[in-house]
């Protein structure tokens, strides 16, 4: 398999829609099923300012998607959230790991981000393992976080801090006093 990670182009909208059409892919995200082609066309052709969108292309077909979304509050400019999905037929083949590795490199080496954040459903063990493998830790659990298939499901808040933040004034809080 030839795997390429690249920036998503507006012409990828049909392939990205197919990724999120998979029942497992959609169940692991906060997306709503059955998005229109126009929705994905608009998301890829008119992205949020400073957002980065990557696709994983295997043998010429987009099989994974990752969005990196910077925080827009001035005091949170060091942080970004991410969301991703892999086509149901391509899970377990390193696609998510390759996407996440490139997103982390982009955040660390090019975007001056010292904190990456995400939420993941507590029962999505493969995703939790993937995120932990790439340095994310569970910071807490949101109870009844989101509706999935008619049931409110808990989700973990996870984050990864840059191992060598560029700011010497980065201080960890100690609330034990």
Output the DSSP codes for the chain: --EEEEE--GGGHHHHHHHHHSHHHHHTSSPPSS--HHHHHHHHHSPPTT-EEEEEEETTEEEEEEEEEE--SGGGTTEEEEEEEE-GGGTTSSHHHHHHHHHHHHHHHTS---EEEEEEETT-HHHHHHHHHTT-EEEEEEEEEEEETTEEEEEEEEEEE-SS-S-TT--------
- Residue 107 has phi, psi (to 5 degrees) of -65, -45
pLDDT digits (tens, 9 = 90+) for 12-45: 999 999 999 999 999 999 999 988 899 999 999 9
Note whether 82 and 117 are within 8 A (CB): yes
Residue 20 lies in a domain: yes
Q: Is residue 127 part of a domain?
A: no
Residue 83, pLDDT score: 96
Task: Say what the pLDDT of residue 80 is.
Answer: 97
Q: Nearest Cα to 118, choosing from 77, 67, 76?
A: 67
At 165 the pLDDT is 66
The pLDDT, as a whole number, for residue 111 is 94
- 108 domain-assigned: yes
Q: What is the CA radius of gyration of the chain?
A: 16
Domain count, the chain: 1
Q: Say what the pLDDT of residue 175 is.
A: 47
Q: How confident is the model at residue 164 (pLDDT cuts 50, 70, 90)?
A: confident
Task: Determine the length of the chain.
Answer: 177
pLDDT digits (tens, 9 = 90+) for 106-160: 999 999 999 999 999 999 999 999 999 999 999 999 999 999 999 999 999 999 9
39: in domain: yes
Lowest mean pLDDT among 3-7, 14-18, 103-107, 166-170: 166-170
CATH number at 99 reads: 3.40.630.30
Q: Using one digit for the tens of pLDDT, what is the confidence trace for 52-101?
A: 999 999 999 999 999 999 998 999 999 999 999 999 999 999 999 999 99
What is the pLDDT at residue 166? Answer: 63
Q: Which two tokens stand for residue 79?
A: 């942080």
Which contacts of 37-45 are long-range, i.e. CB under 8 A and separated by 24 or more positions? 37/13, 40/13, 40/14, 40/16, 41/10, 41/13, 43/13, 43/16, 44/8, 44/9, 44/10, 44/12, 44/13, 44/16, 45/10, 45/13
Q: Which domain holds residue 65?
A: 3-116
So what's the pLDDT on residue 174?
54
Higher pLDDT, 134 or 176: 134
Task: Tell me whether residue 174 is in a domain.
Answer: no
């Amino acid at each position: 398999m030839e795997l390429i990670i690249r920036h998503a182009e507006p012409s990828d909208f049909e392939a990205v829609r197919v990724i999120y059409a998979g029942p497992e892919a959609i169940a692991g995200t906060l997306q709503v099923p059955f998005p229109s082609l126009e929705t994905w066309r608009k998301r890829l052709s008119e992205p949020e300012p400073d957002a980065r969108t990557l696709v994983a292309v295997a043998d010429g077909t987009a099989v994974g998607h990752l969005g990196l979304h910077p925080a827009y509050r001035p005091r949170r400019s060091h942080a970004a959230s991410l969301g991703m999905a892999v086509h149901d037929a391509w899970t377990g083949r390193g696609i998510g790991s390759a996407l996440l590795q490139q997103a982390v490199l982009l955040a660390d080496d090019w975007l001056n981000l010292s904190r990456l954040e995400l939420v993941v459903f507590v029962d999505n063990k493969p995703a939790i393992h993937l995120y932990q493998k790439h340095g994310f830790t569970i910071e807490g659990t949101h109870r009844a976080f989101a509706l999935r298939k008619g049931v409110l499901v808990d989700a973990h808040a996870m984050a990864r801090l840059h191992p060598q933040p560029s700011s010497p004034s980065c201080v960890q809080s100690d609330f034990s006093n």
